[in-house]
Chain A
Amino acid sequence: MRMTSWITRAGIALLAAVATIATVPGYAQTLRFGLAEDPDVLDPTLARTFVGRIVFAALCDKLFDIDEKLNIVPQLATSYEWSADRKALTIKLRRGVTFHDGEKLDAAAVKFNIERHKNMAGSNRRGELAPVTGVEVVDESTARLNLSAPFSPLLAALADRAGMMVSPKAAQAEGDKFGANPVCSGPFRFVERVAQDKIVLERYPNYWNKGEIHLDRVIYLPIVDSTVRLANLRSGQLDIIERMAGSDVPSLKNDSRFKIARITEIGYQGITINVGKSDLSQKNPLGKDARVREAFELALDRDGIVQVAMDGEADVGNQWVAPSNAYYAKNVPIPKRDVARAKALLAEAGVTNPSFTLVTPTTSDAQKIAQIVQAMVKDAGFDVKIQSTEFATSLDMADKGQFEAYVLAWSGRADPDGNLYNFDFCKAPLDYAGYCKPEVDELLNRSRSALDAAERKKIYEQIAATVLKDRPIVYLFHRHWLWAHIAKLSGLRTIPDGLVRVQGLKMN
């Protein structure tokens, strides 16, 4: 049959075509970085996503940075000093630093940037810099930030996007379109961005710390599916991936071509309970009675949750910071699972079989957590119904108080204030639980004005003693940031904020 032989020939030709199309090799000193999401706008003032901060780590230097132990270390600033009344912060700047357009980074540029963060329409930095009332240019390399009241989380904010400095000339020229062509002073400068496809950066030859930069280009490629991200790493399309799935660790661990790096996050995974956000809180024993919430927590086996939901890739915890954090309140340790005590508490509260709905976003981690929690607390008599909802919808429900309990994660901030204040201060933007307690608010404000670490620690212990008993949030664990990279990439520093510093990274 002539036709059948034609089919065979066509088939062979197609296969041959597939085989001859070879894989494209990357540049020798190019780092191809697989991101779990597509970053938002690349303007430090307007940016709002975690993943965008990964790109900023190569693009925009900050006044300060944090190290592996969460210490504040200098970057564009060389030193700082608080005034006696703690209402002024004097920052000495590194000399000879230039932006990617050749403009000088001086105290005037710092003033411009802080004012831009504070005044630009839609700025996401306004809250972080709220107590800053003005910036003085003391001399070319000294700037002073004046504050309305002492504010200890300020340094941590300046070690993040609020401390990123962009070229005033470019920012003025571009206005609110600056994010399309950002000009900063980091080790790499912006080349191009194709939305949802790639962000390309190239080495800035005049970088102040160029001795630490060994790469020529960094290309960030957003690949949402963790399986596909890993497949790209394995097939040689990527050199490093972030947020690798814990379940993929065993298969990669024994492959000598790759390395895995990890560190405990500064954020947390928890269950927010509606204790006063809406009427629903008073219609349900969980929201109404602190004893029921205590019983709920006692029915949880955090180790079990971490093993099953996270494949062991998380540290158990019961607070807004991990037990390894310097600000962890040791006076409230992680409670052990105690079903008998949980049952006794429920009996005391007069509800032996409390029932509530646990809202969860549709991410696989959140759903697994919800299912395990549901099974665990059943032993104590809880009847939990799970309602899985797309993330934006679930957040809307949380915001309107249309929930009883909600599985919610927080990416975390270097300063404990960033994990606590906006969640537990009465009616703060992230107070989804509807938690309102004047004495806690007062302590939270005091924790902001105390600059001494030991003093702050004491205040956090007081806060822990109250808040962790009221349980607006039942904290479960702190995930591990998991990176997988090719073995020939060296110099990766694991910083708890989950951002990869490009300084020191090298392809051997």
Chain B
Amino acid sequence: MGNYLVQRLATILPTLFFVSILIFGLQQLLPGDPAIILAGEDRDPSVVAHLHEKFHLDDPLPVRYLYWAGGVLKGDLGESVRIQKPVLDLILEKLPVTLELALLAIVIALSIGLTAGIVSAVFKDTFWDYAANVFALWGLSTPNFWLGIMLILFFSVTLGWLPASGYVSPFEDLKANLAAMIMPAFVLGNAIAAVLMRHTRSAMLQVLNSDYVRTARAKGLDERVVILKHALRNALIPVITLGALEFGTLLSGAVLTEQVFTIPGFGKLIVDAVFNRDYSVVQGVVLFTATAYIVLNLLADLAYFVVNPRLRG
């Protein structure tokens, strides 16, 4: 495992280097002079000139990349022009919000997706199987923003149970925090639950037909033990990979949900930054997300070792 870990870690650095070039390069494809947008509707020429100078906009691309990459290596991701706050501060401010949202979403997705997947595999071709499949299809085909608005109209406007949007820190008021997070987390988790359900189902079906499960049953073990202890554990391997990948996606992909529920997280940060051409924020957030994605993949690979003893040899 030690060798494997070193091998994997060695690939991370060059990957991050290429990712940083890609992020920087792609952003240059955004049309328009960022200084013109940042100068606001008055577009004072002296402000435009000042922004050009401040962000080295007149320098060649490689020079600008070096300015940025140099800062990143020193831990300085730059500053948001729009609200004049260091990008790192913004990330640290938004990260817990999106992490919480993603975590709650993945908990919801796992509880629904795993349960539905197991049920539909165990009760294959019964009413429960069909019901779970219909649910999965629904979850996959329902657009996030539509479901979000419907939930707001029902739970907030009609019933008045939950706040329509916004965010409260859990350290300030846990109850208010959960009240604000449950709908967006459900909306996010719902789509992933469907994917997880489909994967759990097929993995479970494969495992349930294997010899060792038959042996376990032949030994007279309780069906619950066979399913939850023997079958599920093996079936979980592909599901864990998927879960980790989805978690990475959630970090950056909560964009629509965060917009609809006005959750001040990563997704909202990056969308607003793109539209306002707040380049340092876009670069910082994307680099951070990419790094998180790479690290999560690594962790998922390591998790195989823990879950499946056969891989440890």
Chain A residues proximal to chain B, CB less than 8 Å: 2-4, 7, 10, 17-19, 21-24, 38, 40-41, 43, 46-50, 121-124, 126-127, 176-177, 179-180, 194-198, 221-225, 227-228, 231-232, 234-237, 390-393, 395-397, 399, 410-411, 422, 429-430
Known pairs A21-B182, A41-B83, A429-B44; A232 contacts B165 (CB<8 A): yes
> In this complex, what residue of B is CB-closest to A224?
B259
Nearest-Cβ distance from residue B189 to partner chain A, whole angstroms: 11
- Interface: B41 (CB within 8 A): yes
Query: Residues of A contacting B153 with CB < 8 Å?
Result: 231
On whether the beta carbons of B262 and A223 are closer than 8 Å, the reply is yes
B163 touching A196 by the CB < 8 A rule? no
Separation of A326 and B147 alpha carbons in the complex (Å)? 48
Whether B163 pairs with A237 at a CB distance below 8 angstroms is: yes
Given A23-B163, A224-B262: A38 and B272 within 8 A (CB)? yes
- Residues in A with CB closer than 8 Å to B33 are 396, 399
Contact check, B83 vs A179: say whether CB atoms are below 8 A apart.
yes
Cβ contacts under 8 Å, A10 to chain B: 111, 115
A121 to B176, CA, bound (A): 42
Classify the secondary structure of B's interface with A: helix
Does B32 lie within 8 Å of A395, measured CB to CB? yes
| Per-residue contact bits, chain B 28-67, to A (CB 8 Å; 1 contact, 0 not) | 0011110011111111111100110010000000000000
B275 nearest in chain A by CB position: A392
B80-105 vs A, CB cutoff 8 Å, 1 = contact: the mask equals: 10111100001001100000000000
For B119, list chain A residues within 8 Å (CB): 3-4, 7
CB distance from B289 to the nearest CB of A (A): 17
> Which of A22, A48, A123, A177 meets B41, CB within 8 Å?
A48
- B156 proximal to A (CB < 8 A): yes
Q: Within the assembled complex, what's the spacing in Å between the Cα atoms of A430 and B175?
A: 50
From B82, B94, B118, B166, A41 is in contact (CB under 8 Å) with B82
Interface residues on B, range: 35 or more
Q: Determine how close the nearest CB of chain A comes to the CB of B182; give it in whole angstroms.
A: 6
Is B179 positioned at the interface, with any CB of A under 8 Å from its CB? yes
0/1 string, B252-290, CB within 8 A of A gives 1: 000000011110100011001001110000000000000
Query: Measured between C-beta atoms, what is the minimum distance from B206 to chain A in Å?
Result: 20
Given contacts A48-B39, A124-B39, A235-B164, contact A228 B175 (CB under 8 A): no
Contact of B37 among A4, A22, A395 (CB under 8 A): A395
Q: What is the CA–CA distance of A17 and B178 in the complex, to the nearest angstrom?
A: 10
> Could you list some 9 contacts between A and B, CB below 8 A?
A22-B179, A24-B176, A122-B51, A176-B84, A223-B166, A231-B149, A232-B163, A234-B164, A392-B37
- Judging by beta carbons under 8 Å apart, are A194 and B260 in contact? no
In chain B, positions 156-200 with a C-beta closer than 8 Å to chain A are 156-157, 160-168, 173, 175-176, 178-179, 182
Tell me if B32 and A197 are in contact (CB < 8 A). no
CB-defined contacts of B182 to chain A, threshold 8 Å: 17-18, 21
A-B interface, 10 closest residue pairs, ranked by CB to CB distance from nearest: A48-B40, A396-B32, A197-B264, A235-B156, A24-B176, A21-B179, A196-B264, A429-B43, A231-B164, A232-B164
A410 in contact with B264 given A24-B179, A177-B84, A396-B31 (CB within 8 Å): no
Question: Which one of A23, A48, A121 contacts B42 once the chains associate, using CB atoms below 8 Å?
Answer: A48
